[in-house]
Amino acid sequence: MTTKKTLTHLQTLEAESIHIMREVVAEFRNPVMLYSIGKDSSVMLHLARKAFAPGPLPFSLLHVDTGYKFKEMYEFRDWYAKEIGAKLIVHRNEEAIAQGAHPLKLGVARCCGALKTKALLDALEAGGYDAAMGGARRDEERSRAKERIFSFRDEFGQWDPKSQRPELWDLYNCRVHEGESIRVFPISNWTEMDIWQYIKLENIPIVPLYYAKERPMVKRGNMLIPGDDPANLKEGEVAENVMCRFRTLGCSPCTGAVYSDATTIEEIVAESAIATRSERETRIIDHGSNSMEDKKKEGYF
């Protein structure tokens, strides 16, 4: 008789993610990891370090920067990449940034299209990457729930949700022709709660914006928008100090905060456990006429 050997759900998810990343490195010629500085990226990066220990990361990190990320995010990114000895590539759509692209000027959809989707596609092309790992989760949004872990992109970087490759067992089809690529989502099966529990369990460093503190914010509809940069404010809006934190991190003009007193990771886990609203609710990009599905078809991460 052998004793019962089981894994907890987090150990199971961890083993799956590590298996996925090793498969990427073994099968692709030139993979890269998309790093967005957020909590999901932090978990994915931590899993990658585990996957290839005791060796170094066998790929670079690619940050597609819009120039509108929070100051704390840039500080964290540069500190952490150095801390773990990762090679970090930053790509920006300099042309659009120079032309003053801003969500209040262009509208959210066009701004995202230029600074995120186009920048991402250009960066992937410039690097000649045949696989790009990203920290998207299937529980985030309903079109993501239908995406494969290894998700095929044609030579234009586009996703066709209706003709996806069947994905069975843990056997991933990694084959692509020249110019085509695969987006790989190693943490597809993690939920927001899993992410927070794992960050707590593994003491993974995260951007301080996830913790509650008093920040200057403006109330716009039922959203709390950062109010420290006058360029992000609409006419008549006045910032006031609010005890709040961010559940997800994107560009500062388009990412809302939630009222919160959670100043420790334990309090964040507890708050997530009883949260009644989804985290994507604080992301303006998800609520325009252009759905996540449409954006993903065009090549959005």
- Tell me the Ramachandran region of residue 234: left when phi exceeds 0, alpha when psi lies from -120 to 50, beta otherwise: beta
Phi, psi angles (nearest 5°) of residue 32: -140, 155
Does 278 bind other proteins (CB under 8 A)? Our answer is yes
Closest contact distance (angstroms) between CB of 16 and other proteins is 7
Count of residues engaged in binding other proteins, rule: CB under 8 A: 70
CB of 69 to other proteins, least distance (A): 25
What's the burial of 207, exposed, middle or buried (CB within 10 Å: 0-12/13-18/19+)? buried
Contact residue for other proteins among 14, 40, 65, 130 (CB under 8 A):
14
With respect to other proteins, which residue has the nearer C-beta, 94 or 170?
A: 170
What is the chain written as a DSSP string? Answer: -PPP----HHHHHHHHHHHHHHHHHHH-SSEEEE--SSHHHHHHHHHHHHHHTTSPPSSEEEEEE-S-B-HHHHHHHHHHHHHHT--EEEEE-HHHHHTT--HHHH-HHHHHIIIIIIHHHHHHHHHT-SEEE----TTSSTTGGG--SEEEE-TT----GGGPPP-BTTB------TT-EEEE-TTTT--HHHHHHHHHHHT----GGGS-EEEEEEEETTEEEE-S-GGGPPTT---EEEEEE-SS--BGGGB-BEE----SHHHHHHHHHH--S-GGGGBGGGGSSS-HHHHHHHT--
Which residues, numbered 200-239, are part of the site for other proteins (CB under 8 A)? 201
Least distance from other proteins to the Cβ atom of residue 284, Å? 14
Query: Which residues in 145-204 contact other proteins (CB under 8 A)?
Result: 145-146, 161-162, 164-171, 173, 175-177, 188-189, 191, 193-194, 197, 201
Nearer to other proteins, 64 or 268 (CB): 268
Nearer to other proteins (CB atom), residue 65 or residue 140: 140
CB of 268 to other proteins, least distance (A): 11
Interface map 42-81 toward other proteins (x if CB under 8 A): -------xxxxxxxx-------------------------
Question: What tokens were used for 159?
Answer: 């996703």
**Residue 126 in the binding site for other proteins (CB under 8 A):** no
Min CB(29)–other proteins separation in Å: 14
In the complex with other proteins, the residue whose CB is nearer, 202 or 229, is 202
Angle CA 37–117–297, to nearest 5: 115
Of 101-109, 113-121, 244-252, 260-268, which segment contacts other proteins by CB under 8 A? Answer: 260-268
25 touches other proteins by CB under 8 A? yes
Task: For residue 40, state whether it binds other proteins (rule: CB under 8 A).
Answer: no
The least distance separating other proteins from the CB of residue 46, rounded to whole angstroms, comes to 9
Residues of the shown chain interacting with other proteins in the complex, contacts defined by CB under 8 A: 2, 4-16, 18-19, 22-23, 25-26, 49-56, 138-139, 142-143, 145-146, 161-162, 164-171, 173, 175-177, 188-189, 191, 193-194, 197, 201, 261-262, 267, 269-271, 273-278, 281, 291, 293
